[in-house]
Amino acid sequence: ANAVDIDGYTTVDFSASAKLGPGRIGFAVDNLLDEDYVSVYAQQAGGIYGSFTRISAFGRRVGITYQVTY
């Protein structure tokens, strides 16, 4: 197998939760700074299978949850 040079990257994630009524509300942001990067897996696949597999990872994603335990 051929060696593949891997480009490093750093992402910042944020998550918080708080009690709200009978449950908890949660909020999360993945890739807070909207870094444009290619995951390690995609970089390795690109070296093996060609550039069509070397696609960017997700940009910023936001999620909200509400959980009630009973």
pLDDT in tens, 15-55: 999 999 999 999 999 999 999 999 999 988 887 787 777 78
Give the position of tokens 């992402």.
Answer: 11
pTM of the full predicted structure?
A: 0.74
HSE (CB half, 13 Å, CA atoms) of 42? Answer: 14
CB-based burial label for 18 (10 Å; 0-12, 13-18, 19+): exposed
Task: Give the per-residue pLDDT at 3.
Answer: 79
Is residue 11 within 8 A of residue 31, CB to CB? The reply is yes
